[in-house]
Amino acid sequence: MARLHLFDLDGTLLHGSSAPVEISRQLGLEAETVALDQAVGAGRISPPEYAEHVYALWADLTEVHVAAAFATAPWLSSIQEVWADIRGNGDFCAVVSLSPSFFVERLAEWGAHATHGSRFPALPFTEPVDPAGILSAAAKVLIADRLCAEFGVERADCIAYGDSMSDKDLFAVVPVSVGINADHHLTDLATHSYVGRDLSDAYQLVRRAR
């Protein structure tokens, strides 16, 4: 039976950072977005409120900024190699993130079968952000279920990789999970834990031989 590997982005595939922080860095607004990350992580603001704040910060954002943010972001090592191995084993890999879809979708070029992020208007922004398109921790479970149906697998065939509160709901419903540089929210939920900057080392905890 094929397995579905579900990857978080912020703090997981990105080491010690988030897509919004990397995007804002290109505009000189890193500090403001770090503060927003801390606020949403602590539950002081909701994901839709977070989206409204970063949308306002990104009034001058262009695709050039996003491309530069993606290229210079602090990615874990071996992401493309791990996803190639997953594909070679006949398994599936997907990225499900609360970050903007216009950043998350770029990971399809690295070998992800599917990418899901919060929906923002096309760049440069001329329309408001729709709160209904902003993902939450609970939405990750719904997306995982849709992906299971799409790929013909069950929840029992899923492996989740994450680092924080936004992954807690997903970790609670899949049989195998890997905390990557994870915080205390996942300590008791993760099947495996990894601290470091090479995804292949985390993947070895759940990799199966061909």
Q: Give the per-residue pLDDT at 92.
A: 98
| Parallel, antiparallel or unpaired: strands 176-180 and 192-194 | parallel
Q: What is the pTM of this model?
A: 0.96
Q: Give the tens place of pLDDT for each residue, 23-78.
A: 999 999 999 999 999 999 888 999 999 999 999 999 999 999 999 999 999 999 99
Bigger pLDDT: 1 vs 56: 56
Tell me: pLDDT of 210 over 60. no
Q: Give the per-residue pLDDT at 179.
A: 97
Distance CA 56, CA 150 (A): 35
Domains of the chain (ranges plus CATH)?
4-15+75-208 (3.40.50.1000)
Q: DSSP letters of the chain?
A: ---EEEE-IIIIIBTT--HHHHHHHTTT-HHHHHHHHHHHHTTSS-HHHHHHHHHHHTTT--HHHHHHHHHHS-BPBTHHHHHHHHHHTT-EEEEEEEEEHHHHGGGGGGT-SEEEEE--PPSSP-S---GGG---HHHHHHHHHHHHHHHT--GGGEEEEE-SGGGHHHHHHSSEEEEES--GGGTTT-SEEE-SSBHHHHHTTT----
Q: Give the per-residue pLDDT at 41.
A: 87
Confidence of residue 199 (pLDDT cuts 50, 70, 90): very high
Distance CA 99, CA 37 (A): 11
Q: Give the tens place of pLDDT for each residue, 131-159.
A: 999 999 999 999 999 999 999 999 999 99
